[in-house]
Copies of this chain bind each other. A is one copy, B any other.
Amino acid sequence: MDWGTELWDQYDTIEKHTQSGLELVEKYVKFVKERTEIEQNYAKQLRNLSKKYNLKRSSKDEPECRFSSYQSFLDLLNEMNDYAGQRELIAENMMMSICIDLTKYLQELKQERKTYLMEAKKAQQSLESTYKQLDSSKKRFEREWREAERAAQYAEKTDQDINATKADVEKAKQQAHMRAHVAEECKNDYAAQLQKYNKEQNQFYFNDMPLIFNKLQDLDERRVRKLAQGYILFSDTEKHVMPIIGKCLEGITKAGTNVNERNDSMVVIEQSKSGFERPGDLEFEDYSQGINRASSDS
């Protein structure tokens, strides 16, 4: 069961279906392109967010960096930045392996389809032209035979006519004879045209058109297979970066587990302890003694 045999009279259907098929590819390419734009936008926003909360270059020596709770936040931001890079990769790969590739393939298919449809049209026109010739020769045959009949009848009538001369009879008989000959030639010509047409018609319906329709079927099936690959690539592109995304997420988890609150408390001590001893008791300032000494001096 193929288009060549089953859809021999469905040129319009095949033309329309193959057109729809190519439009579906275009639609899919357009869809994927929009998806890549969404993905790029998402990645850009994540990158910007990471930059927004990260340290400015000048402040990388800030003492906060010695605290694991702060350093791990920076590590998390860096992992998220890498994560954004992977999303960009998804977008770029989708664009390359689906949009650009399918668009190129689409152009080739469009060209190929156009060629086949033109072949079909050409064969159609050729058959129609041969048919016109046939019809024309058939009508001529019909006309000439009527003329021959009429001429024969006139010759008969003249022959029977008591008032007609022998010359008249002779002329009429010659005319009838000539007409019969012409009619015979037209009949033979028509027969030949008929044979020619039937041969071409048979060739057209049982050979040429089935071939073209089957080529269109093959084109359409290739189109479908390529589209299916495109669908698979849609998920493959993301699956491909999953391991690295997994690493980013692991990195974030690691940043969390790296946090050490005891260490951070020690850093505060290191950074800020004065080393001084705590104050001891205040002494008793005995003015009575001081004054006694003074009075013993005077």
A:76-132 near B, CB below 8 Å: 76, 80
Any chain B CB within 8 A of the CB of A217?
yes
Q: Point out the residue from B31, B236, B252, B271 that lies within 8 Å of A253, measured CB to CB.
A: B236
Shortest A176–chain B CB gap in Å is: 13
CB-CB < 8 A to A291: which residues of B?
A: 145-146, 149
Complex alpha-carbon distance, A242 and B247, angstroms = 13
Contact between chains at B20 and A64 (CB < 8 Å): yes
Any chain B CB within 8 A of the CB of A273?
yes
Contact between chains at A284 and B201 (CB < 8 Å): no
Tell whether A73 pairs with B278 under 8 Å between CB atoms, given A7-B272, A287-B145.
Answer: no
Shortest A147–chain B CB gap in Å is: 11
Contact between chains at A238 and B249 (CB < 8 Å): yes
Contact between chains at B201 and A279 (CB < 8 Å): yes
Any chain B CB within 8 A of the CB of A177?
no
**A interface residue count range (under 10 / 10 to 19 / 20 to 34 / 35 or more):** 35 or more
Most B CB within 10 A of own CB, among A34, A205, A228, A249: A228
CB-CB < 8 A to A3: which residues of B?
A: 265, 268-269
Q: Point out the residue from B38, B149, B190, B231 that lies within 8 Å of A73, measured CB to CB.
A: B231
23 contacts between A and B (CB under 8 A): A6-B273, A7-B273, A9-B278, A24-B69, A27-B73, A31-B49, A69-B224, A73-B227, A138-B285, A149-B295, A201-B281, A201-B282, A221-B261, A224-B259, A224-B261, A225-B259, A230-B256, A231-B255, A232-B257, A235-B252, A235-B253, A239-B253, A242-B242
